[in-house]
Chain A
Amino acid sequence: MSTDNGLKSGSNLEKILKAGHFAFTGELGPPRGTGAKEVIEKAQHLKGNVDSVNITDNQTAVVRMASWAASLLLVQEGLEPNFQMVCRDRNRLAMQADILGVYTHGVKNMLCLSGDHAKFGDHPDAKGVFDIDSMQLIAMVKQMRDEGKFLGGAEIEHPPKIFIGAASNPFAVPHEWRVHRLAKKIEAGVDFIQTQCIYNMERFRQFIKEANDMGLTEKCFILAGVTPMKSVGMAKYMKNKVPGMDVPDEIIERLQGAGKGKVAEEGIKIACEQIEEFKEMKGVAGVHLMAIEWEHKVPEIAERAGVLPRPTVE
């Protein structure tokens, strides 16, 4: 079901994508405390340079300011948040309550995630909730929006009109399963996908080709995940320590070859080259830039990647 204008949510991100523009989204991690100022400062680097900003939800299972609260700060600052929600920390009642709450305050995009296991975080003994999983969360948000019903079946007064996002990891094995999992998410009701950080372009091309062949890229918008490498250490850490990440040796060698003081610059260069390729890649509708604790670099990266100015769609 759509709103009168044919849009599901009317979010800026939805309008940009439906108008056929190449989307460019950013990310912001809430602080480990109550510093609203910190959020607002980070947001200033993103304002006008991205179409929507992902607000992470207790990322890596570390307690931070609630993603809904940081999302509201962005709304107040005139940015469009993409409210992330993980299945680890809340049951279906709390999730639906939060969805109603954020929508009331103007949040129109959501990213539905499983969430990293608590073992990685600062409360490793916490009980993971996982009352529903990310697939079921997508279906729940869609039901709330399109049928106007809670998961339990009761009617919602003024249902939340959310543009529904999810993640996809093209690099996890077995590779042949990845498109089927994407297909499942589309069937569950996802409108857009933001992928895991891409470094192995070869593998990503293959994934997109398969998604194109199965007609999946016509059914949802795929935003390619890009994270510029800041250092060789970061690249090695991502390669060896972050589950589900695929960093080819060429990337590490290229960063190593950049020479002293020029590694971060090389990282940005690689990211910009990737973005150039994504712009031309059939089936890729945009880029999701995860400049982790590097928000102040976003204006420069956006400029150099040639995605500015951001279009406005009425």
Chain B
Amino acid sequence: MIVAKRKPFDEIMEMLEEYKKVLVVGCGTCVAVCLVGGEKEANILATELEMARKLADNPIEVDSVTLERQCDREYLAELDDKQTDYDALISMACGVGIQFLAERFPDKPVFPAVDTAGLAVNQAVGWYEERCRSCQQCVLAWTGGICPVTMCAKGLYNGPCGGTNLGNCEIDPDQPCAWYLIHERLAKQGRLHHIKQIYEAVGWRDTMPRTLIQPGYKKPEKEEAK
């Protein structure tokens, strides 16, 4: 899932300084699962803001609402009328949701309440580890199901580098070396031949905005997109 981390409260206060009536918009999907931007967290932020602004002698009225998903047009539509009552919106969704919200209401200032931190697994409650950089050319077939782009600190396709240190990465003795793990797993499976081959220079696909259209679908006409 997509994980995120709440922005420092002071930063949020600064963004909203000049606004008097704000709507916190939570998201019920990834950010709710990773305990940062669901209904509960949206309510907490609203309360925190009201209290802090009262103390700062600059009162603010804050309501909160949590949508099923902010990356889907049909859920955003729920706010079409409601948003007109507010000076600004502050979204607790990932960067995708925040932008989609801002796109839907282009006349309204929209602010981020979280820093989006990647595609991660849930190791335990409240503990997430990044696993994918969405490079759009998955190499997991040849690397034993371990992503060198994400897990190697240098994103090497022909690792390990000379700094690999007794199974750990040169950057940190607590960080396993991705290429050590890749070797270990492929050796166990008798598939080392995959990494004996040279992986050629990568044609990066994540250097410009990407659009994805699944087979059998097409880009909707302009009117439909609205």
Interface residues of A (CB under 8 A from B): 87-88, 92, 113-117, 119-120, 128, 130-136, 139-140, 151, 167-169, 172-174, 177, 180-181, 183-184, 187-188, 196, 243-244
A183 neighbours in B (Cβ, 8 Å): 196
Q: In the complex, how many angstroms separate the beta carbon of B147 from the nearest chain A beta carbon?
A: 14
A243 to B167, CA, bound (A): 11
- Contact at B162–A132, with CB atoms within 8 Å? no
- Contact at B161–A114, with CB atoms within 8 Å? yes
Known: A113-B162, A136-B201, A180-B192. 9 other contacts (CB 8 A): A114-B154, A117-B153, A117-B163, A117-B171, A120-B171, A128-B154, A134-B161, A139-B198, A169-B164
Nearest residue in B to A136 (C-beta to C-beta)?
B201
- Contact at B158–A116, with CB atoms within 8 Å? no
A134 neighbours in B (Cβ, 8 Å): 158, 161
CB proximity to A under 8 Å, residues B144-194: 153-167, 170-171, 180, 183-184, 187, 192
Choose one: A167, A172, A184, A188; the contact of B164 (CB below 8 Å).
A172
A128 neighbours in B (Cβ, 8 Å): 153-155
A117 to B155, CA, bound (A): 11
Q: In the complex, how many angstroms separate the beta carbon of A105 from the nearest chain B beta carbon?
A: 26
- Contact at A173–B167, with CB atoms within 8 Å? yes
- Contact at B201–A140, with CB atoms within 8 Å? yes
Q: In the complex, how many angstroms separate the beta carbon of B117 from the nearest chain A beta carbon?
A: 16
* A174 in contact with B184 given A169-B162, A243-B164 (CB within 8 Å): yes
**In the complex, B200 has a CB within 8 A of chain A:** yes
Q: In the complex, how many angstroms separate the beta carbon of A305 from the nearest chain B beta carbon?
A: 25
A168 to B167, CA, bound (A): 17
* A244 in contact with B164 given A174-B184, A180-B192, A183-B196 (CB within 8 Å): yes
B165 neighbours in A (Cβ, 8 Å): 172, 243-244
A174 to B157, CA, bound (A): 18
- Contact at A243–B200, with CB atoms within 8 Å? no
A135 neighbours in B (Cβ, 8 Å): 157-158, 198-199
B192 neighbours in A (Cβ, 8 Å): 180
Instruction: Map CB proximity to A onto B88-115 as digits: 1 under 8 Å, 0 otherwise.
Output: 0000000000000000000000000000
A119 to B164, CA, bound (A): 15
B184 neighbours in A (Cβ, 8 Å): 174
For chain B, give the interface size range: 20 to 34
A243 to B192, CA, bound (A): 24
* A174 in contact with B155 given A117-B163, A183-B196 (CB within 8 Å): no
Nearest residue in B to A246 (C-beta to C-beta)?
B166
Q: In the complex, how many angstroms separate the beta carbon of B52 from the nearest chain A beta carbon?
A: 30
CB proximity to A under 8 Å, residues B193-226: 196-202, 204
Interchain Cβ contacts under 8 Å between A and B, 29 examples: A88-B154, A92-B201, A115-B154, A117-B163, A120-B170, A130-B155, A133-B156, A134-B158, A135-B157, A135-B199, A136-B157, A136-B199, A136-B200, A139-B200, A140-B201, A151-B201, A169-B164, A172-B160, A172-B164, A173-B167, A174-B184, A177-B160, A183-B196, A184-B158, A184-B197, A187-B198, A188-B198, A243-B164, A244-B164
A244 neighbours in B (Cβ, 8 Å): 162-165, 170
- Contact at B163–A180, with CB atoms within 8 Å? no
A117 to B183, CA, bound (A): 21
A180 neighbours in B (Cβ, 8 Å): 192, 196
A151 to B200, CA, bound (A): 10
- Contact at A130–B198, with CB atoms within 8 Å? no
- Contact at A133–B158, with CB atoms within 8 Å? yes
Q: In the complex, how many angstroms separate the beta carbon of A296 from the nearest chain B beta carbon?
A: 27
Nearest residue in B to A113 (C-beta to C-beta)?
B162
A139 neighbours in B (Cβ, 8 Å): 198, 200-201
A140 to B198, CA, bound (A): 12
* Interchain residue pairs A-B with the least CB separation, the first 9: A135-B158, A243-B170, A243-B165, A169-B162, A114-B161, A243-B163, A136-B201, A133-B156, A132-B201
Nearest residue in B to A174 (C-beta to C-beta)?
B183
A100 to B76, CA, bound (A): 54
B164 neighbours in A (Cβ, 8 Å): 169, 172-173, 243-244
A120 to B170, CA, bound (A): 9
A66 to B97, CA, bound (A): 43
Nearest residue in B to A133 (C-beta to C-beta)?
B156
A260 to B158, CA, bound (A): 46
A168 to B161, CA, bound (A): 9
Q: Which of A92, A114, A133, A173 has the most CB of B within 10 A?
A: A133
B187 neighbours in A (Cβ, 8 Å): 174
B158 neighbours in A (Cβ, 8 Å): 133-136, 184
